[in-house]
Amino acid sequence: MPIGQILLTIGLPALIGALFIIPAWVLPKFRYTAGIAGSALGVALGLALVVSFMVEAGVPSLPPAQKWHMLPVLACGITLLCPIIAMVDGSGEIGRWLIAIGSGGIIGWLAIFPGMDLLLQILLGVWIALSFISLSWVSHRRRGLTVNLAYTIVFTGVSILCMETKFITLTLIAGALAATSGVAFASALVAIIWTRDQEDKRRAIAIGWGGAFSLAAIVPLVAFCGWAYNLGEVQWFHWLLVCSAPMLLGLFELPGLHQLKYGTGFVLRITAVIIPVVLAIILLYSGAPLEGDDGGYNLNDYESAIMP
């Protein structure tokens, strides 16, 4: 695949994401509006997935031409819902659980990839629900700096796993999501520097419930899609290690840990996310075929080999 095509598939979605994230998190007029700031990341990630897919595979059809094409369709729905969920941010435990159960149930029901039976659909829905509970909790305590660096690492790990499944379009989509998270990390860093003397405004650069909802849904969706179309050596525990890593951020909000000094806490949180991602990659490559064996598939023509 030409390097220009790779850069377009990853760079264009990240650029579009930046058009939403940077104004919402950096410009005072928008940064202090919680609904806008709290939905920017979610909208940017949803659009990044859709744009990256369209660059590679064109406009998705309804009903989907292939089962995995439901991924960008669901991403469109996630993008539209992010601002609504951001506006109810802070509505309390009832609102948090309603969003978690509703999003997990609906997305789990609609995401029918090859090999997914009812049990796996329920598992996907539960994963999304628990991820949102954890992230929405973290989003009220942590700035976008911590969460977005963690997810930049996670999406990079997901991209590596997708590459080893021989699913190149999904590899590039995950790369676009990693790049968009990286833009969000950089934007959060700039916003923190500019507002370091305005601690009462720090939640304006948090990911918000809109961002938490998007991340909680997209990571499991990409993981299940990659697992369903796996032509490589990636096993379920590789996906589990990588995609459950960001949920470890929630452990550091427990009593006794959430009051860690900012620098120390930041390093420990990011280290906790890095460890399972690196472990998954080590386990993957230590058990991968040697001498460049790709199972006989042309990586640029994988779609002719994957199931519909």
Question: Residue 222's pLDDT is what?
Answer: 95
Torsion, Cα of 134, 137, 141, 146 (10° steps): 30
Question: Residue 221's pLDDT is what?
Answer: 95
Question: Other CB atoms closer than 10 Å to residue 292's CB: what's the count?
Answer: 6
Question: Residue 307's pLDDT is what?
Answer: 46
8 Å CB contact between 232 and 270: no
Residue of 151, 90, 141, 148 whose CA lies nearest to 257: 141
Q: Give the torsion sign (CA, 226, 227, 229, 231).
A: positive
Q: Calculate the average pLDDT of the chain.
A: 85
For residue 13, name the pLDDT band (cuts at 50, 70, 90): very high
Residue of 40, 45, 39 whose CA lies nearest to 85: 39
**pLDDT tens track for 261-304:** 677 888 999 999 999 999 999 999 987 543 444 433 333 344 44
Query: What CA–CA distance (Å, rounded) separates 108 from 118?
Result: 9
Instruction: Give the pLDDT mean for 166-183.
Output: 95
Instruction: Give the pLDDT mean for 143-151.
Output: 89
Instruction: Give the pLDDT mean for 53-80.
Output: 90
Q: What percent of the chain has pLDDT over 90?
A: 53
Question: Residue 196's pLDDT is what?
Answer: 64
8 Å CB contact between 40 and 205: no
Comparison of pLDDT for 115 and 163, the residue scoring more: 163
Query: What CA–CA distance (Å, rounded) separates 216 from 212?
Result: 6
Does the pLDDT value for residue 202 go beyond 80? no
Does the pLDDT value for residue 260 go beyond 50? yes
**pLDDT tens track for 81-117:** 999 999 888 778 899 999 999 999 999 999 989 888 8
Query: What CA–CA distance (Å, rounded) separates 155 from 176?
Result: 9
Peptide bond into 289 cis (omega under 30): no
Torsion, Cα of 255, 256, 257, 261 (10° steps): 130
Which residue type occupies 163? Answer: M
For residue 254, name the pLDDT band (cuts at 50, 70, 90): confident
Does the pLDDT value for residue 237 go beyond 70? yes
Question: Residue 252's pLDDT is what?
Answer: 78
For residue 194, name the pLDDT band (cuts at 50, 70, 90): confident
Question: Residue 298's pLDDT is what?
Answer: 35
Question: Residue 165's pLDDT is what?
Answer: 92
Query: What CA–CA distance (Å, rounded) separates 166 from 42?
Result: 28
**pLDDT tens track for 20-65:** 998 888 877 777 676 788 899 999 999 999 999 999 888 888 788 8
Burial class (CB in 10 A: 0-12, 13-18, 19+), 200: exposed
Query: What CA–CA distance (Å, rounded) separates 275 from 248?
Result: 11
Contacts of 11 (CB under 8 A, 6+ apart): 179
Does the pLDDT value for residue 183 go beyond 90? yes
Does the pLDDT value for residue 220 go beyond 50? yes
Instruction: Give the pLDDT mean for 303-308.
Output: 46
Instruction: Give the pLDDT mean for 9-25.
Output: 91
Per this entry, what is the length of the chain? 308
Question: Residue 5's pLDDT is what?
Answer: 78
| Annotated domain spans of the chain | 3-289
